[in-house]
Amino acid sequence: MDNHSPALFLGDALALDFLNSVATPIDTPVDWIENGEGLLRWLEQAKLVPEEALESIRAQALPGELDKVADQARNLREWFRTFVREHKGKPLKPDALAELEPLNRLLERDEGFGRVVARRTDEGEVFEFRPMRKWRSPEALLLPVGEAFGRFVCTEDFSNVKACEGPSCTLLFADHTRGHRRRWCSMALCGNRAKQAAHRDRIRQV
């Protein structure tokens, strides 16, 4: 697996999926946003930015500009990872608000607006109010990530945020299963490996 492989979306929350854009799923660390092109690919796979906006930004960016934005994205990712790891496993308390000031400063840059559009349904076309955004510069690519962080903080029960129990795995996820007994990022990546390791241990003990 390398950073040109499809990114992992196993967190059951877009904010955690962004944190998981750097991971060690199969022994070797992979960073899907190690450069500007990686950031564009991840945003496209996450469906956070319209394809036409990504193409326009790619075409108009100055040399090295997208790589600088990717560097900002990685810094944002690690800042939010620290916040999530500190607060996961317990309800988020109001006094955590002061720690979120960097996020609020990012969100203040947004140039959002709304548009009435027609959406096709089985019953015909209906009007829909759709949030939009002006993509004036490559730095605007950080805004939908910040928005995902903000929604996550306001809607997720941090008691259900967990780290995968795989020995070398770094993935985080929101446990929305019944009984909240999820232990692995996925059975395919870490769950089956843990079962195989346990099976080998039982054989050695016989």
CATH value at residue 77: 1.10.3300.10
Tens of pLDDT, residues 70-101: 999 999 999 999 999 999 999 999 999 999 99
Angle between the 65-87 and 142-155 helix axes, to the nearest 10 degrees? 10
Asked whether residue 23 is domain-assigned, the answer is yes
Quote the radius of gyration of the chain (alpha carbons, Å).
19
Give the β-pairing of 28-31 and 112-121: unpaired
Q: Which residues span the domain enclosing 197? A: 14-205
Does some domain include residue 4? no
In this predicted structure, what is the pLDDT of residue 202? 53
pLDDT of 25 above 90:
no
Q: What is the mean pLDDT of the chain?
A: 91
Residue 197 lies inside a defined structural domain of this protein: yes
Number of structural domains (the chain) is: 1
| For residue 195, pLDDT beyond 80 | no
Does a structural domain hold residue 8? no
CB within 8 Å of 135: residues ≥ 6 apart: 49, 53, 56, 57, 141
In a domain, 60, yes or no: yes
121 domain residue, yes or no: yes
Mean pLDDT of 20-30: 85
pLDDT for position 205: 61
Query: Exposed (0-12), middle (13-18) or buried (19+): which is 18, by Cβ within 10 Å?
Result: buried
Percent of the chain's residues with pLDDT above 90:
77
> pTM for the complete prediction?
0.88
Residue 3 belongs to a domain: no
Q: Quick check: helix, strand or coil at residue 132?
A: strand
Token look-up 């939009």 returns 132
User: Rounded CA gap, 203 and 23, in Å?
Assistant: 31
User: Taking the CB of residue 163, how many other CB atoms lie within 10 A of it?
Assistant: 16
Confidence of residue 131 (pLDDT cuts 50, 70, 90): confident
Q: Flag whether 6 is in a domain.
A: no
